[in-house]
């Protein structure tokens, strides 16, 4: 054998070994480049406090119609129509002279009754002494006693009549029982008014106000299943105004119908809201949003990532090595196009949302972020 042949064989062996090493190192790179691409998104922990929204109407906290309690001619109207009034303001004044005269008469009657009573007391005391001396009969004493009782009753009647006259005089001043805004006056100065004249004007309170909503039985059941009970003080209503802006102040429910209205299949719920800037006007429509006062956070994933088999719900996750893993999960409530995961995932884990049909557990994949 020539030395040249031996050298050729050595070169061929070395080349074969190099090619073998090249293929051995190139194979994994080829497998990685051939890994299927899948779209993933991270499980996210966020505020998932359930809420419900209803169309509501603003109502006055208090509305009072002013009614004349005595008859007479209107002498004064002491307010600007549509303006603010305070509790205790005299808004209308009815002619007072006839009622002042009646008070004077009742005072005179009371004075006369007191004089008669004094005389009856003295007569009774005198005859009581004379009876003991046997100079006056028992019959005379009984008459004096009866006269004394009648006089006392007359005083009480006169006092009641005076009180009635004083009340009638006081009723000539029609005062506001609340703070609020007053409507237009129904009668002008000089008009004859009385208890049968109807409303003279209406006073409406403006701070605070009510927001009322009609809740269907179905919505009420669904809300309670999600932990929102309108009877629970932990539930807070808020408002969206007609221009889409959020109302600054939170409210509080203070009433829920005890039964379902069979005609409408709804229950009336009422919340009270402060209204210092007077943005809310009785009769105004608003959107009432109902949620718990304390926010609730949970892990949330897109609905597209969730799959189900005979064992229950699961997702496919991609670990740090880009390897697919099956993960069994416990589902919570659905929020729009997302699902709450009660157990089985932590925030930050990558779940597959697209490409599920071309992968399987333990497969290496090429994860691509969800840009939707």
pLDDT in tens, 112-163: 999 999 999 888 888 888 888 888 788 888 888 899 899 999 999 999 999 9
Q: What are the boundaries of each domain within the chain?
A: 37-47+297-369, 51-61+207-292, 97-171
DSSP strand E in 142-208: where? 173-175, 180-182, 192-193, 199-204
The predicted structure's pLDDT at residue 27? 41
**pLDDT value of residue 101:** 95
At residue 329, the 3 state secondary structure works out as coil
At 226 the pLDDT is 63
Q: How far apart are CA 343 and CA 189, in angstroms?
A: 75
| Straight-line distance from the first to the last Cα atom of the chain, in angstroms, rounded to the nearest whole number | 72
Could you tell me the CA-to-CA distances from 77 to 165, 178, 183, 187, 194 in Å, in that order? Answer: 23, 17, 13, 9, 15
Q: Which position has the token pair 């009742």?
A: 106
- CATH number given to 51-61+207-292: 2.40.30.170
- Contact between 291 and 252 under an 8 Å Cβ cutoff? The reply is no
Are 339 and 301 in contact by the 8 Å Cβ rule? The answer is yes
CA distance 124 to 35: 124
**SS3 category, 239:** strand
Q: 216-245 burial by CB neighbour count: b if 16+ within 10 A, else e? A: eeebbeebeeeebbbeeeebbbbbeeeeee
Q: How confident is the model at residue 293 (pLDDT cuts 50, 70, 90)?
A: low
CATH number of 37-47+297-369: 2.40.420.20
Tokens representing 145 are: 């006693």
Rg for the chain, CA atoms, rounded: 45
Question: Residue 220: what pLDDT?
Answer: 76
Count CA within 13 A, CB hemisphere, residue 365: 28
Name, in order, each residue with C-beta under 8 angstroms of 239's C-beta and a sequence gap of 6 or more.
56, 211, 246, 247, 251, 273, 280, 286, 287, 288, 289
Portion of the chain with pLDDT greater than 90, in percent? 38
Using a 10 angstrom Cβ sphere, with 0-12 exposed, 13-18 middle and 19 or more buried, the burial of residue 39 is: middle
- Interatomic CA distance for residues 38 and 370, integer angstroms: 9
CATH architecture classification, 97-171: Orthogonal Bundle (1.10)
260 within 8 A of 267, measured Cβ to Cβ: yes
Would you say the pTM of this structure is higher than 0.85? no
> What is the structure's pLDDT at 356?
85
Helix, strand, coil percentages, rounded to 5, for the chain: 30, 35, 35
Q: Encoding tokens for residue 128?
A: 């009581």
- Cβ atoms of residues 42 and 164 within 8 Å: no
- Measured between alpha carbons, how far is residue 309 from residues 50, 306, 315, 325, 329 in Å? 28, 10, 11, 16, 12
> Mean of the pLDDT values across residues 55-71?
93
Q: Which of 62, 51, 53 minimizes the C-alpha distance to 286?
A: 53
* Spatial distance between the Cα atoms of 238 and 273, rounded to a whole number of angstroms: 9
Residue 113: the pLDDT is 93
């Amino acid at each position: 054998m020539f030395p040249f042949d031996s050298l050729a064989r050595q070169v061929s062996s070395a080349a074969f070994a190099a090619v073998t090493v090249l293929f051995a190192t190139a194979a994994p790179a080829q497998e990685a480049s051939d890994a299927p691409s899948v779209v993933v998104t991270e499980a996210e922990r966020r505020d998932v406090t359930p809420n419900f929204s209803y169309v509501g109407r603003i109502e006055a906290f208090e509305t009072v119609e002013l009614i004349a309690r005595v008859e007479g001619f209107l002498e004064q109207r002491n307010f600007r129509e549509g303006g603010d009034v305070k509790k205790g303001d005299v808004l209308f004044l009815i002619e007072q002279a006839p009622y002042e005269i009646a008070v004077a008469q009742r005072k005179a009657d009371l004075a006369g009754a007191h004089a008669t009573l004094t005389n009856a007391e003295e007569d009774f005391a005198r005859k009581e002494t004379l009876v003991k001396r046997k100079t006056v009969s028992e019959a005379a004493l009984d008459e004096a006693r009866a006269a004394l009782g009648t006089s006392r009753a007359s005083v009480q009647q006169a006092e009641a009549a005076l009180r009635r006259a004083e009340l009638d005089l006081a009723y000539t001043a029609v005062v506001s029982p609340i703070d609020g805004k007053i409507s237009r006056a129904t009668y002008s100065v000089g008009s004859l008014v009385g208890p049968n004249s109807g409303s003279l004007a209406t006073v409406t309170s403006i701070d605070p106000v009510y927001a009322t909503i009609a809740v269907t039985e179905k919505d009420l059941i669904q809300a309670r299943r999600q932990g929102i009970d309108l009877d629970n003080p932990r539930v807070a209503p808020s408002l969206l105004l007609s221009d889409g802006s959020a109302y600054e102040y939170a409210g509080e429910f203070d009433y829920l119908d005890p039964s379902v209205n069979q005609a409408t299949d709804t229950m009336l719920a009422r919340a009270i809201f402060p209204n210092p800037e007077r943005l809310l006007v009785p009769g105004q429509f608003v959107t009432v949003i109902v949620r718990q006062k304390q926010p609730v956070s949970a892990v949330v994933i897109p609905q597209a990532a969730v799959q189900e088999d005979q064992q229950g719900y699961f997702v496919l996750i991609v670990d740090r090595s880009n390897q697919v893993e099956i993960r069994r999960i416990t589902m919570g409530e659905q929020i729009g196009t997302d699902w709450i995961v009660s157990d089985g995932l932590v925030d930050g884990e990558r779940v597959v949302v697209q490409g599920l049909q071309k992968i399987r557990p333990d497969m290496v994949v090429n994860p691509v972020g969800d840009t939707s």
